[in-house]
Amino acid sequence: MIDRRLLKNFDWPLFLITLLIALIGIAMIYSASQYRGQFLSSSKLTYPLRQLIWIGAGLAALLAVIVVNYQTLIKYAYSLYFFNLILLILVLIFGRVAGGAQRWLRLGLFSFQPSELAKIVIIISLARYLRDKEAQVKGAKGLAVSFCLVLFPLILILRQPHLGTAFLLLPILFVMLYAAGAKGRHLAVIILIGLLVIAPLGYHFLLKDYQKERLSVFLNPNLDPLGKGYSLNQSRIAIGSGRFWGKGWLGGTQTQLHFLTAQYTDFIFSVVGEEWGFLGAFITLSLYAALLWRGMRVAVQAKDRAGALLAVGLCAMIALEILINVGMTIGIMPVTGLPLPLLSYGGSSLLTTMLSIGLVLNIQMRRFMF
Segment holding 124, helix H or strand E: helix 114-132
Alpha-carbon separation of residue 133 from 123, 192, 205, 363 (angstroms):
15, 25, 34, 21
If phi > 0 it is left, if psi is from -120 to 50 it is alpha, else beta; for residue 42 that is: left
The DSSP secondary-structure symbol of 135 reads: G
- DSSP line for 193-246: HIIIIIHHHHHHHTS-HHHHHHHHHHH-TTSSTTTTTHHHHHHHHHHHHTTTT-
Nearest to 297 by CA among 370, 362, 364, 352: 364
Distance CA 318, CA 290 (A): 12
- DSSP line for 42-88: S-TTHHHHHHHHHHHHHHHHHHHHHHS-HHHHHHTHHHHHHHHHHHH
Consecutive sets of 10 residues in the chain, 370 residues long: mean pLDDT of each? 74 96 95 69 77 94 92 94 92 76 72 86 95 83 89 88 83 93 85 79 69 73 73 90 91 86 90 95 97 95 92 96 93 85 91 95 81
pLDDT of residue 2: 61
pLDDT of residue 369: 61
Distance CA 126, CA 145 (A): 10
pLDDT of residue 108: 65
CA 359 to chain centre: 15
pLDDT of residue 261: 84
What is this structure's pTM?
A: 0.92
pLDDT of residue 179: 92
Please give the torsion angle defined by the CA atoms of residues 328, 334, 337 and 339, in that order, rounded to the nearest 10 degrees: -30
